[in-house]
Structure 1
Amino acid sequence: MLSKTAEYALRAVACMGGQPGEPASADRLAEQTKVPRRYLTRVLQDLAAAGLVRSRPGPGGGYELSRSTDELTILDVVNTVAPIERIRRCPLGLKSHHKLCPLHAELDKAYAATEAAFAGVTIKELVESTSEIIPLCESK
């Protein structure tokens, strides 16, 4: 259900969120998140264009979050790179379906539940998790 692009964006954002005030190069982020660098660069550009990430050029530069981790949700990141597409009308274009059929209504409920779940989790919660497994970002 979650695209590879969204997964990679979440890895990068969580990694940056776990290292506040410390800009990370694309190379370092790629290594720490296990994301191919070329792919990650495109994802970072999308995040920057949307204002979630900023790039600092020059020595000591790199990528960092533009917003605080407690203001940034999983849904913000996902909707920036691969929005969840809700089903608003019959995907088959059937004129007899003024409302969604039972199948598409149930699918849309699942999408709505996913949106709500993603909106309810901040990046801060991810990076401050007390789980024994450190999420998404492998540091050296």
Structure 2
Amino acid sequence: MKFTKATNYALHTMFMLVEASPVKPVGVQQLAETQGVSPTYLSKILTKLVKSGLIDSVSGANGGYRLSRKKEEITFLDIIQAIEGSTSLFECNFVHGENCSIQAVMKEAEMKMELHLKNTKLTDLSPMKIRALD
């Protein structure tokens, strides 16, 4: 199982926004430089996070991005689903009904993982050693 690089960047970006000032938006250039990724690529990720309601885009000379929800409410699952969607990781390709034992094991594992990601918030992590955003 592997999540895309976009999810990796989204999780790190959201953590940076959790650590940033709730009043002053953080620019895409600053977020991109901190992660060593192109601003164009990160902008596509930020657009998904805006559409999912996790962050707001602030336009203007002092514009950028900031959280749109309370930081204590944002879970890993929220961020992952904003980027990856919410489709199942495993789909049985055989036509033998819903009683597939393999499908049952995979769904149970996925449900446990989702529960863990849903119960883990970004604020549960200790601050990372990254360049200050202020």
Work out whether the TM-score is over 0.5: yes
The equivalent of 2:55 in structure 1 is: 53
Give, in angstroms, the shift of residue 59 of structure 1: 1.9
Q: Could you tell me the percent identity over the aligned residues?
A: 25
Structure 1: distance between partners of 2:113 and 2:119: 10
RMSD: 2.0
> What is the aligned counterpart of 2:131 among 110, 114, 139?
139
- Equivalenced residue count is 130
Q: Residue 73 of structure 2 aligns to a residue in which SS?
A: coil
* SS of residue paired to 1:75: helix
Which structure 2 residues correspond to residues 120-131 of structure 1 after superposition, within 5 A?
Answer: 120-126=119-125, 129=126
Q: Following the alignment from structure 1 to structure 2, what is the Cα–Cα distance between the partners of residues 26 and 11?
A: 13
Corresponding residue for residue 37 of structure 2: 35
Please, which of 42, 62, 65 is the counterpart of residue 64 of structure 2?
A: 62
The unaligned stretches of length 5 or more in structure 1 are none
1:36/1:102 Cα in 2 relative to 1: closer, same or farther (>3 Å)?
A: farther
Unaligned runs of 5+ in 2: none
TM-score w.r.t. length of structure 1: 0.81
CA displacement at 1:103 relative to structure 2:
2.2
Whole-angstrom distance in 2 between the partners of 1:84 and 1:49: 15
Corresponding residue number in structure 2 for 1:98: 98
TM-score, scaled to structure 2: 0.85
CA deviations on 1:62-105 (whole Å, 9 max, x unpaired) are 111101110111111111110343368x63140x2332x22222
Match of 2:16 in 1: 15
Which structure has greater helix proportion?
2
Distance 1:77 1:98 in 2: 30
Q: CA deviation at 1:37?
A: 2.0
What secondary structure, in the 3-state scheme, does the structure 2 residue paired with 1:70 have?
A: helix
Q: Which amino acid aligns with 2:11?
A: L
Q: Distance in 2 between matches of 1:139 and 1:36?
A: 17
